[in-house]
Amino acid sequence: MAVTGLNSRQRSVIRGAIRRGQEAVNWYNAEASRHVPETNEIDLTDLVCDLMHWAAARQLDFDEVLETASMHLDAELSGDPR
């Protein structure tokens, strides 16, 4: 995804989101006692799968949440000030 045409504040918000995502994956790998992290795709897949279990246990509609999150991502990458 291209991140062009954004002001410095918007780029900072995106960099913060990327950093928090990496911190979440790092924590997840440590919590899962992985001595050697898997590939980024496997790490993300395992984390999302566990979040899907968490959502189901709380009767949350994961697909709906994912759709909303995707809209937030699109807005952030387009510079939409929502």
The model's pLDDT over 49-64, given as tens digits with 9 standing for 90+, comes to 999 999 999 999 999 9
Classify 34 in phi/psi space as left (phi over 0), alpha (psi -120 to 50) or beta. beta
- Domain of residue 59 covers 8-78
**Is there a domain that residue 66 lies in?**
yes
Number of domains into which the chain is organized: 1
Which amino acid, residue 32? A
pTM for the model: 0.75
**Is there a domain that residue 3 lies in?**
no
**Is there a domain that residue 62 lies in?**
yes
Model confidence at 73, pLDDT cuts 50, 70, 90, reads very high
**Is there a domain that residue 2 lies in?**
no
**Is there a domain that residue 27 lies in?**
yes
CB 15 within 8 A of CB 81: no
**Is there a domain that residue 16 lies in?**
yes
CA atoms within 13 A on the CB side of 26: 6
**Is there a domain that residue 1 lies in?**
no
Measured between alpha carbons, how far is 80 from 72 in angstroms, rounded to an integer?
9
